């Protein structure tokens, strides 16, 4: 059974169709890169998966459960776009922000108790940021901040991790470390990862599968199949397809 199943999904903003008849299945343990041009509907797609936008038509199933009935949100970790840039003045410590990630498994009245400390600290240790647990979010560098938000997404031990352009604001060195962490989570813990990137060539460096969105699902499958696909050659043009796949190959050599 696919861990995420999207069937004929259509989302509208007002009269404008942002996603039109998108369908795909993601299996447990997949590492999927979602690419597409600006305004192609990538962010809308993952916001629809998370129930944050109204679905006009179609069905979404998470872990086999229709989205409207799904309530096991602890299974899902989410890192929204540009989190590292925002919230810099928010008066919360790293530990408090990571603790918010545990609320999905709490019933009313939600409380973070001393027993939750172990989970918080072990997540901070996993991401090598336990030394900054008492610092304010505004006192951290962009890379540290993004790791804190990743810790927030991971603290409930999710089965699915959804990330929206998580490395846009990061230095290249920090970016490499960040992708190493995601790779370990996927390979060693079996976490299913969906990661949006505007750089389709770059996706081949970390993800096994590619979902290319242009209001509809233009391509979904293994990255190597994308490079060999005549259909994609026709869609992108031979030159661009080869450039993407060449970049992928070159980066792999380093």
On whether the CB atoms of residues 165 and 197 are closer than 8 A, the answer is yes
Nearest-approach distance from CB 111 to another protein, in angstroms: 7
Nearest-approach distance from CB 68 to another protein, in angstroms: 13
Contacting residue, 10, 23, 104, 130, with another protein by CB under 8 A: 104
Nearest-approach distance from CB 81 to another protein, in angstroms: 10
For another protein (CB under 8 A), the number of binding residues is 32
Nearest-approach distance from CB 144 to another protein, in angstroms: 17
Residue 169 touching another protein (CB under 8 A) = no
CA angle 29, 58, 207 (to 5 degrees): 25
CB closer to another protein, 90 vs 141: 90
Q: Which two tokens stand for residue 98?
A: 């990571």
Q: Which two tokens stand for residue 207?
A: 């993800």
Query: Of 122-151, which residues contact another protein (CB under 8 A)?
Result: 134, 136
Number of CB atoms found within 10 A of residue 10's CB:
17
Q: Which two tokens stand for residue 134?
A: 């008492």
Query: Of 43-102, which residues contact another protein (CB under 8 A)?
Result: 47, 50-52, 71, 73, 76, 78, 80, 83, 87, 89-93, 95-97, 100-101
Contacting residue, 65, 82, 111, 246, with another protein by CB under 8 A: 111
Query: Of 212-241, which residues contact another protein (CB under 8 A)?
Result: none
Contacting residue, 119, 145, 147, 152, with another protein by CB under 8 A: 152
Contacting residue, 1, 108, 115, 254, with another protein by CB under 8 A: 108
Nearest-approach distance from CB 155 to another protein, in angstroms: 11
- H or E, element range at 180: helix 172-189
Q: Site residues (CB under 8 A) for another protein?
A: 47, 50-52, 71, 73, 76, 78, 80, 83, 87, 89-93, 95-97, 100-101, 103-104, 106, 108-112, 134, 136, 152
């Amino acid at each position: 059974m696919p861990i995420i199943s999207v069937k004929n999904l259509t989302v509208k903003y007002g009269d404008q169709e942002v996603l039109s008849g998108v369908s795909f299945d993601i299996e447990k343990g997949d590492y999927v890169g979602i690419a597409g041009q600006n305004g192609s509907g990538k962010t809308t797609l993952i916001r629809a998966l998370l129930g944050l936008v109204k679905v006009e038509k179609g069905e979404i199933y998470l872990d086999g459960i229709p989205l409207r009935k799904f309530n096991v949100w602890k299974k899902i970790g989410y890192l929204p776009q540009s989190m590292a840039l925002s919230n810099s003045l928010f008066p919360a410590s790293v530990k408090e922000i990571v603790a918010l990630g545990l609320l999905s498994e709490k019933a009313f009245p939600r409380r973070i108790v001393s027993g939750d400390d172990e989970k918080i600290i072990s997540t901070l240790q996993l991401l090598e940021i336990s030394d900054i647990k008492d610092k304010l979010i505004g006192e951290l560098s962009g890379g540290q901040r993004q790791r804190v938000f990743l810790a927030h997404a991971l603290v409930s031990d999710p089965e699915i991790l959804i990330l929206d352009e998580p490395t846009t604001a990061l230095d290249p060195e920090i970016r490499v470390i960040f992708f190493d962490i995601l790779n370990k989570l996927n390979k060693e813990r079996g976490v299913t990862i969906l990661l949006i990137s505007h750089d389709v060539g770059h996706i081949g460096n970390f993800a096994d599968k590619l979902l290319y969105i242009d209001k509809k699902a233009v391509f979904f499958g293994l990255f190597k199949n994308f490079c060999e696909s005549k259909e994609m050659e026709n869609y992108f043009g031979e030159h661009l397809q080869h450039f993407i796949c060449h970049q992928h190959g070159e980066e792999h050599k380093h």
